[in-house]
Copies of this chain bind each other. A is one copy, B any other.
Amino acid sequence: MSSDKDGAVPGIGAVSSAYSTALAARRRSYGPNTSLSYEQPLMIVRGHGTYLYDDQGVQYLDCVNNVSHVGHGNAEVAASASAQLHTLNTNSRYLHPDLPRYTELLLTTLTATSNNSMSSGNSGNSAGGCSNISDGCDSGGNCIRAGYSGSGTRSSSSNATFPGIQPQSQPQSQRLQQQQKQPPSSSPTISQPSLEVLYLVCSGSEANDLALRIIAAARPGATHIAVMGGAYHGHTSALIQISPYKFWGQGGTGRQPHVHVVPCPDPYRGDNLDGRAAARAALAAAARAGGRLGGFLCESVLSCGGQVVLPTGYLKELYDELRGAGVLLVADEVQCGFGRCGEAFWGFQTQGVAPDIVTMGKPIGNGYPLAALATTRELAAAFSAPGMEYFNTYGGSTAAVAAGLAVLRVIQRDGLQHHAQRVGEYLLSGLRRLRATHEVLGDVRGLGLFLGIEVVRDKASKRHAPATARWLKERMKARRVLLSTDGPYDNVLKIKPPLVFGIREAEVLLGQLSEVLERELTTDVLQQLSQREDEVWGSVYGPRYLQYRENERMLYSGLPPARL
């Protein structure tokens, strides 16, 4: 497409000449299968807190960018990385004091579940650990306090405490404690893995790809992998193969014989809720295919899978069963980690499980490229034993570590985990109220500031409504509130804002969504959308739905699984 000189772009309308120039140049020179969000893409040139600004100075409430975890342009993280970029930014083949300082600190956050240490110091200082960040930012980007103290629908929660970073004595989430019934010393059958070794890499994809390499080294011969339906684990060749979101999604080439897909729990529809049955089915499917499962990868809260919160106990049952069969268990925390879930620092901790490997990415550096993999001493030794060096040019480089350290510091000091829980609960209750009166809002769910709204044709049928979800996203964008859609049927509105998103922002989101639903989603519009749903369902989502159902049937029936 050539540059449009009169300031109008076909299908987009009047824009600035800088916009049309940039759009034309991007279309000319950048990968055509990279995407721009929204029907009319936004040219965003500035960010502050949980707000983004386009080239005309228009402010948007960002409810989407979970990478900018502690806020767009967070001054502390930016200053920390910047200082290091000026001083030294080199690889991990030299010793640097900050690298082990960071790795030990990050590992500390993981020990909460695996050795229950987060439960120590239950001195009830829930108020003391309360957020000292603002409850958001005003329209000019200036921080304000809303003074809201939370709806209190959940019991007291805590932020992970990091030795060395203003340690605070705080209570543990009661729910988390309830789930952790066995202390590690009395573990019933298999000892709980202790995550003591870290690898720093460059992206969540690199972290998950490394997890596959570790599994291959530690479980030679067990070359099959199980994953959750709808999962996306990254963009490398090996990860596309184990991501149903991709291999069953648009342009996908189907399931490889060594990959087994556990049908994703769907608490809203009451499907696939038995973790133990899922594990047994996956083990059996691998055996029928002539292989053996080496690993199981699963996001602790499913993101691309549709913002699905796993049922209480689900992952514990699944882990127990798979661990008994020698399968290595990988918790993918790339999307949901670092306090976002509110009630725990890591998503897997909300399920009371102890993974063998945890992968981390996106929020870890607030946008500075950084990612990590934590594992046990035993698995790291198995990976290292053959003598092949693991080197990652940017992973563990000095400026990345500086960004990572600053992010942890800000999360802890500003109580962002607790803040996420408090604001998330407020938002969730508001969304539930909206759901009660609007037929298309089938389900609202989530943990902390990782929420989803499942959009359906109607509450009775619970049929997926991707066209309506997209329409809502676009209408919200017109009202300067940014959401995205996702899930295997693209019918889930995702809410995963920077964690500095506050009560005030939640009110804006709720207010605008309410207006769209009440004023814009008229009977006429609903009829038009209904027709569009039929079209997209018939051409794309219907066949995909049948693929998933076929997989599910095969997995549980014990028949040889069809290669879908």
Contact = CB atoms under 8 A, between A and B. Distances in A.
Interface of A: 18-19, 21-23, 25-26, 28-37, 41-47, 52, 55, 65, 67-68, 72-73, 75, 77-79, 81-82, 85-97, 99-101, 103-104, 107, 196-200, 202-206, 209-210, 212-213, 216, 235-238, 240, 246, 249-253, 361-362, 366-370, 380-381, 383-394, 396-397, 399-400
Contact of A30 (B18, B97, B103, B252): B103
A203 B394 contact: yes
8 contacts: A30-B100, A44-B88, A47-B89, A78-B85, A79-B86, A81-B82, A236-B238, A252-B386
A393 B66 CA distance: 11
How often does this chain occur in the complex, in copies?
2
B397 A367 contact: yes
Contact of A67 (B36, B86, B90, B381): B90
A198 B369 contact: no
A37 B197 contact: no
A169 B243 CA distance: 50
Given A203-B202, A236-B238, A85 B87 contact: no
Contacts of A369: 202, 368-370, 394, 397, 400
A235 B394 CA distance: 12
B238 A22 contact: no
A210 to B, nearest CB: 8
A397 B88 CA distance: 22
A397 B203 CA distance: 12
Contacts of A198: 29-31
A396 B370 CA distance: 14
Nearest to A33: B384
A29 B107 contact: yes
Contacts of A103: 25-26, 29-30
Among A28, A35, A88, residue most surrounded by chain B Cβ atoms (within 10 Å): A88
Contact of A199 (B31, B200, B362, B391): B31
Nearest to A22: B97
Nearest to A23: B95
A42 to B, nearest CB: 5
A388 B37 contact: no
A24 to B, nearest CB: 8
Contacts of A210: 235
A37 to B, nearest CB: 4
| 10 cross-chain pairs, A with B, having the tightest CB-CB distances, nearest first | A251-B388, A251-B386, A25-B100, A82-B82, A33-B384, A369-B369, A237-B238, A369-B394, A78-B85, A89-B367
Contacts of A52: 88, 90, 94
B250 A95 contact: no
Contacts of A18: 97
Given A94-B44, A103-B30, A104-B29, A387 B236 contact: no
Nearest to A367: B89
A196 B381 CA distance: 45
B393 A93 contact: no
Contacts of A397: 367, 369
